[in-house]
Structure 1
């Protein structure tokens, strides 16, 4: 089986780098803010995984130029193509800027690639003992729409809980759509021109 190639997407400060560090079981960069594409590999359990951290997306015209080019470079680092895109969102209150940023991500990638996206809720420890299903019922309608666009796929990540890593990787292996991702992504551009 191919090593999973995971691309982390989201707004600056959403927890992309921390999630990448947790997935890899080590810190692959020390910068507070990811300004360029960063890729690292690590053996996790019985397989090697590759994580690509991307610069933070923003709800501004700057995205159309600088960030978009950096994201295209990040995707090329996952050659022959990513298996999954994780849309990273912290659990908590969502601003309209955060919602607009994620909607921009989804629009730039298009319908075909959103089939291979999972919403990754970070800071899962903030839920305490509360079930994620209760939290999802209270979400803003736009966030519910984002999950729907991603095929209803979401995962709660607690960077201090190693079981959430195994659960995400197991989920990846058990999902039929994952198996065809590399072929689908490498045959078409991921981001609209």
Structure 2
């Protein structure tokens, strides 16, 4: 009897595999779904559905589907293992490549002595800033220039600066042009040299600077006579014109020597009048900075961003400074362009 049932099931299986009827196929799919549904039913309800599946040959089909699903699961697990291995290898290669690039970049920066900040990348969508540093000798103008440029190691002293120098750096993706000037506030250069270097500093940041940083030693930080901020600002007005007052930001250096008087507000409270007068002239709150050569790089970065932020505010309010020399240059350039265009037109007319 058992053998006959097996033969009967094999016969039905053959009938299932050989049938091309669409109706029979749909009937078999319904039966298959019923078979899967029966797995969740009690035994007394499940046996009629199993009998139906056996009569239609779906039991054999289910065995084939089970083997296929098992094979797919094995392949899926194998793929997951390969993915894990590949991610592990990729992470190791990425770490090795990053360390190699960093070490190579550091060695190249050390060999070339780059003037820009190696940790920053230029963002062309962000407009640059142009600065001119002014101030009496001994105020810390050159050391502040090094801080703005991001140089942790100060340059060896080679004597007083004799001419305006242009250097650039990148701060937060923005190109910063810094002009360090010689002693334009004093008389050591002579009037002719002072005037020439003042105008030359403007040409180096054409079409004009966004701000003048008036670098002055903080009152009370030296055994010598304190530098007069008002006199320095008036000297700048004599050199660059009265309009320069709208672009001056006072910067007080050597703030680390103040001790307990370590804020601008306290300085203004104990001021004898010079600092308050300077503030009233340029209408700009002074910036108190620590420009020590051994100042930690993190503190230098904070100071750099702080000064750049002040210059950005001035740029948004005032634009860039335009000197009479630059206006004349623009006018002469237009006249020269018109003359050359007329001459060229006449030449083309004779050809």
Query: Partner of 1:50: helix, strand, or coil?
Result: strand
Query: 132-141 or 12-21: which moved more?
Result: 132-141
Distance 1:21 1:46, change over 3 A: same
How many residues align structurally? 186
Unaligned runs of 5+ in 2: 1-125, 327-351
- Indicate which of 49, 65, 79 corresponds to 2:176: 49
Cα deviation 1:89-115 (Å, max 9, x = unaligned): 011347377453443223433332210
Cα deviation 1:9-40 (Å, max 9, x = unaligned): 01112111100100011269643421111110
Distance 1:103 1:143, change over 3 A: farther
Superposed, 1:13-162 pairs within 5 Å as: 13-26=138-151, 30=156, 31-60=158-187, 63-93=190-220, 95=225, 98-99=228-229, 100-129=231-260, 130-159=262-291, 160=295, 161-162=299-300
Find the aligned partners of 1:108 and 1:67 in 2 and give their Cα distance: 8
Distance 1:60 1:33, change over 3 A: closer
Cα deviation 1:55-85 (Å, max 9, x = unaligned): 0134449553211211111121011211100
Query: Partner of 1:79: helix, strand, or coil?
Result: coil
Find the aligned partners of 2:136 and 2:196 in 1 and give their Cα distance: 16
- Indicate which of 319, 322, 330 corresponds to 1:185: 322
More helix by share: 2
CA-CA distance at 1:127 after TM superposition: 2.7
Indicate if the aligned counterparts of 1:136 and 1:144 stay in contact, CA closer than 8 A: yes
Q: Please tell me whether residue 2 in structure 1 is matched to residue 141 in structure 2.
A: no
TM-score, normalising length: structure 1? 0.82
Find the aligned partners of 1:98 and 1:178 in 2 and give their Cα distance: 26
TM-score, normalising length: structure 2? 0.48
Query: Partner of 1:65: helix, strand, or coil?
Result: helix
Query: 155-164 or 15-24: which moved more?
Result: 155-164
Find the aligned partners of 1:178 and 1:14 in 2 and give their Cα distance: 25
Distance 1:110 1:141, change over 3 A: farther
Find the aligned partners of 1:81 and 1:29 in 2 and give their Cα distance: 27
Indicate if the aligned counterparts of 1:84 and 1:181 stay in contact, CA closer than 8 A: no
CA RMSD of aligned residues (A): 2.6
Find the aligned partners of 1:154 and 1:126 in 2 and give their Cα distance: 17
Cα deviation 1:137-159 (Å, max 9, x = unaligned): 22232332122111133211212
Find the aligned partners of 2:192 and 2:213 in 1 and give their Cα distance: 22
Unaligned runs of 5+ in 1: none
Query: Partner of 2:275: helix, strand, or coil?
Result: helix
More strand by share: 1
- Partner residue, 1:168: 307
Find the aligned partners of 1:95 and 1:32 in 2 and give their Cα distance: 22
Distance 1:45 1:128, change over 3 A: farther
Distance 1:156 1:166, change over 3 A: same
